[in-house]
């Protein structure tokens, strides 16, 4: 069975990005003119997903509005014959089938995923975190789906993280099977540097068999009193094989202020409308600092 459904958890409080996240979801932060979540949805579609379940919470209404039709705006653009803009706006609301579920309280990523259980109805599915932006010709989620299609096992995307950052990630220990694929042996949520089994961390892309739901439920709350996805993955790995895959691509953690700034700079430098002007401008400020 081909994976067609994806869960996008976007109900977190975004405390690393306060104060703006007081009233605005971090997933809606713009990378120039498109919110991060738009890129995440595009990745899901390009990976073969045709049914998306957003897990949202309070003050996340702007995500629903963004992917909905906007009749007044569309009528205005039509009257003004702004056809390109009209098409852009209409395309967003017709991209894919989207459903919304609310996580009543932000009790952790594991809990957010559990909220989507009924909609998944016993199928394997993908999870894309709404604040991880990944750029690659073959989308990261597609890479995981291809591993799943070969081995029919849950697969999590991983990357090497700097030593000083291991205590911010779920860190794995794995047996390498080839250059990019590991058989998962252990996964620990936010270990101290000295207890970390490696510097390979899980990032915001996963493909799961439906047994993950029972495992999250069984695991209960973990680090920080939150229902951690990592604990669910550990139990799943006791029950059936789980793989970790070193994906190809560049990832930006846009839930982190520096990660967000890096994404904006890189996207702006690749933007054909102002890359030359921007390079010239950057030279003036970098030159002034040297």
129 is a site residue for ligand UTP (CB under 6 A): yes
Name the one residue in this structure whose structure tokens are 């897990």. Answer: 55
State yes or no: residue 157 binds ligand UTP (CB under 6 A): no
- One of 35, 124, 130, 139 touching ligand UTP (CB under 6 A): 130
10 is an interface residue for ligand UTP by CB under 6 A? yes
With contacts defined by CB under 6 A, name the span among 9-17, 77-85, 185-193, 262-270 that binds ligand UTP.
9-17
Q: Least CB distance from residue 108 to ligand UTP, whole Å?
A: 5
The distance of closest approach from Cβ of residue 256 to ligand UTP in the complex, given in angstroms and rounded to an integer, is 8
- The CA angle 149-3-44, to the nearest 5 degrees, is 115
Which segment (81-89, 104-112, 139-147, 210-218) binds ligand UTP by CB under 6 A?
104-112
User: Binding ligand UTP by CB under 6 A: which of 109, 126, 166, 172?
Assistant: 109
Shortest Å distance, C-beta 121 to ligand UTP? 20
Cβ-based neighbours of 115, under 8 Å, separated by 6 or more = 55, 101, 102, 103
Does 255 bind ligand UTP (CB under 6 A)? Our answer is: yes
165 CB contacts (<8 Å, ≥6 apart)? Answer: 201
- Kindly indicate which of the ranges 36-44, 102-110, 206-214, 243-251 contains the residues binding ligand UTP, using the contact rule CB under 6 A: 102-110
User: Which of 59, 183 has the CB closer to ligand UTP?
Assistant: 59
Q: Is 188 in the site for ligand UTP (CB under 6 A)?
A: no
Binding range to ligand UTP, per CB under 6 A, among 32-40, 78-86, 108-116, 154-162: 108-116
Which CB, 9 or 232, lies closer to ligand UTP?
9
Q: Is 9 in the site for ligand UTP (CB under 6 A)?
A: yes
DSSP string, the chain: ----EEEEE-----GGGTTGGGTS-GGG-EETTEEHHHHHHHHHHHTT--EEEEEE-TT-HHHHHHHS--HHHHHHHHHTT-HHHHHHHHHHHTSSEEEEEE-SS---HHHHHHHTHHHHTT--EEEE-TTEEEE-SS-HHHHHHHHHHHH-SEEEEEEE--GGGGGGSEEEEEEESSSSEEEEEEEEES--TTT-S-SEEEEEEEEE-TTHHHHHHHH---GGGS--HHHHHHHHHHHS-EEEEE-SSEEEETTSHHHHHHHHHHHHHT-TTTHHHHHHHHHHHHHHH-
Query: What number of chain residues touch ligand UTP (CB under 6 A)?
Result: 21
d(CA 248, CA 179): 11
Q: How far is the CB of 19 from ligand UTP (least distance, A)?
A: 12
CB of 177 to ligand UTP, least distance (A): 28
Write the CA distances from 95 to 39, 45, 155, integer angstroms.
12, 8, 26
Q: Can residue 3 be called a binding residue for ligand UTP (CB under 6 A)?
A: no
Q: Based on CB atoms, which residue is closest to ligand UTP, 71 or 225?
A: 225
Beta carbon of residue 55, minimum distance to ligand UTP (angstroms, whole number):
5
Site for ligand UTP in 49-78 (CB under 6 A): 55
Residues lying near ligand UTP in the complex (CB under 6 A)? 9-17, 55, 103, 106-109, 111-112, 129-131, 255
């Amino acid at each position: 069975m081909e994976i067609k459904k994806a869960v996008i958890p976007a109900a977190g409080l975004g405390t690393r990005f306060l104060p703006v996240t007081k009233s605005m979801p971090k997933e809606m932060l713009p990378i120039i003119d498109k919110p991060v979540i738009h890129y995440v949805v595009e990745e899901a579609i390009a990976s073969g997903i045709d049914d998306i379940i957003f897990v949202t919470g309070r003050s996340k209404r702007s995500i629903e509005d963004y992917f909905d039709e906007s009749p007044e705006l569309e009528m205005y653009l039509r009257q003004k014959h702004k056809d390109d803009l009209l098409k852009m706006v209409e395309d967003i609301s017709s991209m894919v089938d989207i459903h919304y579920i609310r996580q009543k309280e932000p009790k952790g990523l594991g809990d957010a995923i559990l909220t989507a259980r009924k909609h998944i109805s016993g199928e394997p599915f993908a999870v894309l975190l709404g604040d991880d932006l990944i750029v690659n010709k073959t989308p990261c989620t597609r890479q995981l789906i291809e591993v799943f299609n070969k081995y029919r096992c849950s697969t999590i995307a991983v990357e090497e993280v700097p030593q000083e950052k291991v205590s911010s990630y779920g860190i794995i220990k794995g047996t390498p099977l080839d250059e990019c694929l590991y058989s998962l042996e252990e996964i620990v949520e936010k270990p101290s540097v000295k207890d970390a089994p490696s510097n390979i961390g899980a990032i915001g892309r996963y493909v799961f068999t439906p047994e993950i739901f029972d495992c999250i439920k069984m695991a209960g709350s973990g680090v920080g009193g939150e229902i951690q996805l990592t604990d669910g993955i550990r139990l799943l790995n006791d029950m059936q094989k789980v793989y970790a895959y070193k994906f190809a691509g560049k990832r930006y953690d846009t839930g982190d202020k520096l990660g967000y700034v890096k994404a904006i700079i890189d996207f702006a430098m690749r933007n054909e409308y102002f890359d030359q002007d921007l390079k010239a401008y950057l030279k003036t400020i970098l030159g002034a600092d040297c």
